[in-house]
Amino acid sequence: MNKLKFSQDKGSDFYKELIEKTDQYFSENKIQKVGNKIMVFKIVLYFSLDVLFYSLMITSTTTVGFYVFYLLMGLAILLTAFNISHDAAHGVAVKSRFWNKLLFSISFNLQGNNAYVWGKNHNESHHLYTNIEGSDIDVLNNPVIRMTSTQTLKSFHKYQFLYAPVLSLLYSINWFFVREVLMLFRKSSRTISINIPSIEIVKLILFKFIYVSYMLVLPWYLLPFGFGTVLLAFFLNHFMVSIIFTSVLGVSHLSDFVQHPTPDKEGKLSISWPTLQMCTSVDYNASSTFLNWTLGGFNAHAMHHILPNISHVHYLNILPIFIDTARKHDVNYMNMSYGQAYKSHYRFLYKMGRQQSFIPRTYEG
């Protein structure tokens, strides 16, 4: 991963005033930036749903019931990741550092993925160098999807807007079975250069065995439906999770409105870090109570990137501050409907598959 330097611009002043105003908001209301009683309720709710649907799945008496509860369990686990794991990864789910780490580790590792590696990649690569080729793991060279103008344009890329939805079905399968396994052998391009502690290597392997055991082996052993039925449920669950995950996150950074800034030869960008976050992230329905509740604030992605030290349970209250401050400093804030964001996402895939260079559209919200 290439480490970069930033410049000063109007985004720097925007960020400074935004921090002052949000700090004032929390101070005047005598509340903390971490999760509140709502977050505690969500922690109890989502973990309870995880256990409930797994219990119902593992005691199913019909094939239909088995599939329904298996998929509901998968959905509950994904919502746990959106609402609990992500905030905990940033240390803002609760006040206690110990409980944040525990919540993150439990909710992430029990999905068969390694919390340590993902946390390092997410915080030290994606959040720091969003959408920058060679520095952000999420836009590193993909062999089949072209995401930046610096990547080689190949003949099959003209069809990527058609095959991308199909490939999205395999996102979590690839993550679980391929990406993290390759990390063990330093063969994965989807990670920053970090030394994985020996204990994390053990945990990565161990939790994958645990995940396969409780998601595949145990249902097959306890239930009378046969291995084929359980295996199909396993893959259907991963397909469902992958579609939702990529639909929620893909539209935020892969859009024909966003930029992919390029540093100079000395590794310096001509913009500030706050400007980078604002020009590379699209929000959709940022004021929606429903999406804030279900997606854990992922729909307010630009605000999250600018203020990762604030729990998503506060987003709806600080959104007006965020918008007003951006407007005051003439910083472009991209917030649109999900339908607009979704269309922009596929326009981006279409253009990147047919054009050598790419000029983002101007957002005039």
Helices 10-28 and 273-280 cross at an angle (nearest 10°) of 90
Residue 67's SS3 state is helix
Tokens in use for 198? 């020996």
Amino acid letter, 176? F
The contacts of residue 246 (CB under 8 Å, 6+ apart) are 168, 171
Any idea of the CA torsion for 152, 278, 275, 188, to the nearest 10 degrees?
-40
Reading the chain (365 residues) residue by residue, the pLDDT tens digits are 667 889 999 999 999 999 999 999 999 999 999 999 999 999 999 999 999 999 999 999 999 999 999 999 999 999 999 999 999 999 999 999 999 999 988 888 878 788 887 777 787 788 888 888 877 777 666 778 998 888 889 999 999 999 999 999 998 898 888 877 777 666 555 545 566 788 888 888 888 899 999 999 999 999 999 999 999 999 999 999 999 999 999 899 999 999 988 888 888 999 999 999 999 999 999 999 999 999 999 999 999 999 999 999 999 999 999 999 999 999 999 999 999 999 999 999 999 999 888 889 999 87
Q: Euclidean distance between the first and final Cα of the chain, in Å?
A: 34
* Whether the Cβ atoms of residue 344 and residue 256 lie closer than 8 Å to each other: yes
Helix H segments across the chain? 10-28, 37-58, 63-80, 86-89, 97-109, 115-121, 160-168, 171-174, 180-184, 198-212, 218-222, 227-253, 273-280, 289-295, 301-306, 315-328, 338-352
| Nearest-angstrom CA–CA distance, 229 and 127 | 40
Handedness of CA 192, 194, 200, 202 (dihedral sign): positive
User: Of 132, 103, 137, 133, whose CA–CA distance to 118 is shortest?
Assistant: 137
Amino acid letter, 115? A
DSSP lists the bridge partners of residue 268 as: 5
User: Of 323, 352, 312, 353, whose CA–CA distance to 86 is shortest?
Assistant: 312
Furthest-apart CA atoms within the chain: distance in Å: 64
Tokens in use for 78? 């994904």
Predicted model pTM: 0.90
CB burial of residue 347 (10 Å; 0-12, 13-18, 19+): middle
